Amino acid sequence: MSSTPVDIKDVRAASKRIHSWVHRTPVLTCQSLNNLAGRQLYFKAENLQKTGSFKVRGACNAVFLEKESNPDSSGVVTDSSGNHAQAVAYAAKCVGLDCTVVLPRGAPKVKCDAIRGYDAEIVFCEPTPISRKETCIRVSEETGKTIIQSSDNYSVIAGQGTIALELLEEVPDLDAIIVPTSGGGMLAGIGVTVHSIHPKCQVYAVEPVGKDLQRCLEAKQRLWPNPPLYLNTVADALRLQAIGYLSFPIICEYASHRVFTVTDDQMIEGMKLSFERMKQVVEAASGAGVYAAVNLMNQVQPTAHKVGVVLCGGNVDLDNLPWLTPTITY
Ligand SMILES: Cc1ncc(COP(=O)(O)O)c(C=O)c1O
């Protein structure tokens, strides 16, 4: 019996629903990174995913369900720091729904261009979680469009779980999976899936400094301030400080309560390792996972032999690579 509202059946149903519209991304290995890490690393290359991030999995599942359940739908609206927005815009275009995305001012140009490329309309808001939510609700009320939350949505969580379904099909005996975490939808989906298929495998979040997830998991309480904050981090995809209300209980149950915390410099080092050693263009969120797998695993699970890492996205602005220009502060 499942004790959470998303279970493996939902993840498998999501996999069926979305499989023609998303890539089954490769699992990459790299001998020089294995040597550095002292263990075998398996990189799920969601940077090569449609729209450039794993977000398309959850977005397609949620948007396709909206279309199935409401054929006369006025469309969908979402608020996002970029990757989820791009993913919802893509998903809406796949099934012919109108789409509006609310983006914080300052979102990378590469992401804005991509969203417009899928024919979605962009409405800008102030770069605060409150402005983002309020603007999204206003658009929904004015247009009748259904809100598709970026991680606090059970259909999105089930869609993200398909990453682990595929990864475990290829490497069934993983000891751990490292998941870059913001709102927690990916961590929750992967947690549910791994718990059902291979419960011995530990699922770890990697977070930017200031998120303090481990303290919340240990207390089993969302200790973050309300209204929620954005973190000042080089990883624009990991700026939400708080895990969502729906994801948090799932994560408490299925993810390790030990969390990897990384600085901006460490994320950048992880990005560089990916560029140089694997020849993979990844964004800073992915760099967080690479850094943790290579450098921090010893502190947490030294005996882990096979470790999965989600290269969660590859949407970098090539004119704004973090080691070439000063880091943007918000
Ligand atoms: C590239 C990338 N990695 C990781 C995350 C974090 O995902 P979640 O919000 O499901 O924790 C995001 C979220 O936007 C993302 O775009």
The single-letter DSSP state of residue 144 is -
Taking residues 108-126, report their average pLDDT. 88
Confidence of residue 81 (pLDDT cuts 50, 70, 90): low
pLDDT at 65 over 60: yes
Q: 147 has which bridge partners?
A: 77
- What does the pLDDT average to over 192-219? 98
**Has residue 223 got a pLDDT over 70?**
yes
325 pLDDT higher than 80: no
User: Of 44, 83, 246, which is best to mutate to test ligand 1, by the most ligand atoms within 8 angstroms of its C-beta?
Assistant: 83
Q: What is the mean pLDDT of residues 66-82?
A: 91
Separation of 180 CA from ligand 1 center, angstroms?
Answer: 7
Q: How many CA atoms lie within 13 A of 36 on its CB side?
A: 18
Helix-strand-coil split of the chain, %, nearest 5:
50, 15, 35
Whole-number percent of the chain with pLDDT over 70: 97
Q: Whose CA is closest to atom 3 on ligand 1? A: 312
Across 297-326, average pLDDT: 92
pLDDT given at position 318: 85
Annotation marks residue 81 as catalytic: yes
Domains and CATH numbers, the chain: 8-51+153-320 (3.40.50.1100), 55-147 (3.40.50.1100)
What is the residue with the minimal CA distance to atom 9 of ligand 1? Answer: 183
pLDDT at 327 over 90: no
